[in-house]
Amino acid sequence: MNKRIEEAYAGRPRRWVFELVIALITVALLIWSGTAVETSGTTQNGAKIAWNILAGIFHPDTGLLFNLTTQGVPYLLLETICIAFLGTVVGAVISIPLAFLSASNLTPAPVAFIGRLAIMAIRTVPAFVYGLMFIRVTGPGAFAGLLTMSLCSVGMVSKMYIEAIEDLDTKVLESLDAAGCTSWQKIRYGILPQLMPNFASTAIYRFDINLRDATVLGLVGAGGIGAPLIFAMNSYRWNEAGAILAGLIVLVLLVEWISTKIRVKLARG
Amino acid sequence: MKLYDRILPPRVLELPNGKQILKYRSRAPLWALAVVLLTALSVKVTGFDMGILAARIREFFVILGEMLPPDWGYLSQVWQPLFDTIKMSLLGSAIGSLLVVPFAMLASTNIIRSRLVVSAVRLLLSIVRTLPTLVTALIATYIFGLGTLAGTTAIAIFTFAYIGKILYEEIETVDMGAFEAMEAMGATKARAFVSSIVPQVLPSYLSNCLFCFEGNVRYASILGYVGAGGLGLILNEKIGWREYSSVGMILAVLFVTVFIIETISRAARRRLVQGGEHE
């Protein structure tokens, strides 16, 4: 028995050359990237600054946190939720035709390839560039933020929709065909039930991410909670930043908890 | 839901054996109603106006038009920030994903029995995960000064939180037989973890790290906006000066880089996942 185990162990696949090469490449890359770290900018009292920041953040400005006017955290959070929600809805709706066009099992290969390239291009452009472009269209404010969110959502959502479409079980469609169903019936009973849970789950997941990314929009003045947060931090008002961050963290955790519940329910049917 | 069933009573179907079953009405209208109400609220709050959009959407393509064709003469100045961005994301991803391993171990219910430790570590991971990367980058620039070190820190923190959650979920689904056997033979928890659980989670862990790295390259280009080095720095500058053809060049370079990195990483990940299945 032991001998057989030893024989099997001696005959195990040897890939150490391959593994060594990969390891060497990885280490070389890491050393190369280590050159980017320059510590010259580090201030002597970095630890003190960090302590001050933390002290400020953990003593949030409660006046701002529970202020019910349009300047207060609750209203800003509501605005952020609205931007993220509508952005997700618009993005998800735009993604549907785009994803069907770029799914390699439905469209000819060249069309699908161009579609994928376009989706990747949309994903590559950083959000604040879109933000600046949309501000020219609508002026600064929540509207611009909403349009930016929609475009950013299209990039990721359509990519995941494509994967869902390519995973479609075509046997169901064939049997519906055999039963003499019309195209419309095939879509209603063959395609929609397969795609809906997946699409809904992706959209909810993206809503989660959009809520998190809302701070990015604030950079360019595209509405939501980002702008006041960045302003507060740039002017070292850490109490205010703490209040806004506290609100944002609680909201994101809450939404994540709910969205996980819904998505688990969707996945189990 | 009881009220809903009373308003729209379930359909009663009779089976051939005389048994009656209830077919409840679809809940879809409720969900649709919720979505419509939320959309209406959002339209009101954000001031969404189709008219403005239709009338002025041309403005969006004005900048896009100015980006094309990109200014090739600017290409020589893009390389340095581009490499900075790649270095930042590579180092940040590596640090974050290595640092999180012990925390992920502490957050797995099948390894640590104490509910208190598990919930504490999970809460920590959740809070770190909700911190916006821009905020951590901005704080890092106050501590480390402007530059790539701040960006690396921000990316490491993001990777830490992202990989942490995936990793502890992964660890919780492994086969615990080998781990228990090793513990029974007197191995310490850490030793048993390395020998029995690491081989099971390693392929998917590496695959997730690569995926996170792909995303980080893209995200690192934003961080320059708060002064944390890389492409974002020159991107912000060129947008400020309205040199859109240079912006186009930067974006084109970023696109090609992301495309190359994604292609390599996708090939590597496919290999990792398949290797895990065969062996």
Q: Exposed e or buried b for every residue in B124-144, given b needs 16+ CB within 10 A?
A: ebbebbbbbbbbbbbbbbbbb
Q: Is residue B259 part of a domain?
A: yes
Single pTM value for the model: 0.82
pLDDT in tens, B57-85: 887 888 788 888 888 888 888 888 888 88
- B35 and B76 both lie in a single domain: no
Give the closest-approach CA distance of A169 to chain B in angstroms: 22
Q: Is residue B65 part of a domain?
A: no
Q: Which of B47, B53, B144 sits opposite A42 (nearest CB)?
A: B144
- B77 and B153 both lie in a single domain: yes
Q: Where are the domains of chain A?
A: 2-34, 52-268
Q: What is the DSSP letter of B18?
A: S
Parallel/antiparallel/unpaired status of strands B11-14 and B20-23: antiparallel
**pLDDT value of position B275:** 60
**pLDDT value of position A156:** 87
The domain that holds B148 is classified in CATH as: 1.10.3720.10
Would the CB atoms of A83 and B42 count as touching at under 8 Å?
yes
- B111 and B228 both lie in a single domain: yes
- What parts of chain A have a pLDDT lower than 70? 1, 36, 38-46, 68, 269
Would the CB atoms of B47 and A141 count as touching at under 8 Å?
yes
Give the closest-approach CA distance of A216 to chain B in angstroms: 7
- B44 and B75 both lie in a single domain: no
Cα–Cα distance measured from residue A207 to residue A222, given in angstroms and rounded to the nearest whole number: 17
Q: Is residue B62 part of a domain?
A: no
pLDDT in tens, B194-208: 888 888 888 889 888
Phi-psi label, residue A180: left if phi above 0, alpha if psi -120 to 50, beta otherwise: left
Residue pair A83/A142 in contact by the 8 Å Cβ criterion: yes
Look up the CATH number of domain A52-268. 1.10.3720.10
pLDDT in tens, B109-168: 888 888 899 999 998 998 888 888 888 888 888 888 777 888 888 999 999 998 998 898
Give the closest-approach CA distance of B120 to chain A in angstroms: 15
Would the CB atoms of A138 and B86 count as touching at under 8 Å?
no
Q: How many domains does chain B have?
A: 2
pLDDT in tens, A66-117: 776 777 888 888 888 888 999 999 999 999 999 988 888 878 888 988 988 8
- B91 and B213 both lie in a single domain: yes
For residues B89 and A55, which has the higher predicted lDDT (pLDDT)?
A: B89
- B149 and B272 both lie in a single domain: yes
pLDDT in tens, B26-61: 777 888 888 899 888 888 888 887 877 777 888 788
B254 neighbourhood in chain A, CB within 8 Å: 124
Residue B27, domain extent: 2-48
**Angle of helix A73-102 relative to helix A142-166, nearest 10 degrees?**
40
For residues B192 and A69, which has the higher predicted lDDT (pLDDT)?
A: B192
A36 neighbourhood in chain B, CB within 8 Å: 83-84, 87-88, 91, 148, 152, 229
**pLDDT value of position B277:** 47
Q: Is residue B59 part of a domain?
A: no
Q: Is residue B171 part of a domain?
A: yes
Residue pair A149/A207 in contact by the 8 Å Cβ criterion: no
pLDDT in tens, B200-257: 888 889 888 998 998 888 888 788 777 777 888 888 888 888 888 888 898 888 889 9
- B113 and B21 both lie in a single domain: no
